[in-house]
Chain A
């Protein structure tokens, strides 16, 4: 697509429920990133995918968080047994190729706002 698309834009859930957030990157972009932004804070790296390489999961805060990328395109971030501290905006970005000078320019989606009651 023309831009990075994220859904849902807003999600309200109860503590303990599982949630799935979706990201559709720009067509042809091989790198996809997930970040989290709590209210009034900076961006916290969660995970990134580059082509068929093993993802860098070093930013996932706990084993309740997981992400997959099917067919090198759409990605789903799953949070199991949600907690109130998971409330944040989850941002997805894509770039042409991670690690290649000039090709690793991030474009962000509008984000998914998650509220855990």
Chain B
């Protein structure tokens, strides 16, 4: 089955630092979302980005579908950015279920 790998698995940053999170997938996809799971467990949609680049404040994302990866950029990190970041994809072939990646656990220190 499809593999959705995220790197790094864990990341510790000082407040104000920048970071790049990566999502690699092993098959063709036509839907891709990035989520932030906050320390209380709530999953928040960050980007719906099957291709191209989007920006929202300090966050931006780029998906290169032909090369099967997506990147999430966090600039000027804040302690409220702490949590787990997941990417999720839907295969081009097959049913429309989202398959979640392994996640990146981020901790931002004050």
Interface residues of A (CB under 8 A from B): 31, 33, 35, 42-45, 48, 50, 56, 58-59, 89, 91, 93, 98-99, 101-102, 104-108, 110-111
Given contacts A43-B100, A99-B90, A108-B45, list 10 more A-B pairs with CB under 8 A. A33-B97, A45-B100, A48-B95, A58-B97, A59-B97, A102-B48, A104-B90, A104-B96, A107-B45, A111-B41
Closest to A105 in B: B48
Interface residues of B (CB under 8 A from A): 30-31, 33, 35, 41-43, 45, 48, 50, 86, 88, 90, 95-103
Report the bound CA distance from A104 to B41 in whole Å. 22
Closest to A111 in B: B41
Report the bound CA distance from A45 to B33 in whole Å. 15
- Main secondary structure, interface of B, reads strand
- Give the residue of A44, A98, A105 whose beta carbon is less than 8 angstroms from that of B96: A98
- In the complex, the answer to whether B100 meets A42 with C-beta atoms within 8 Å is yes
Known: A104-B31, A105-B48. A45 touches B42 (CB 8 A): no
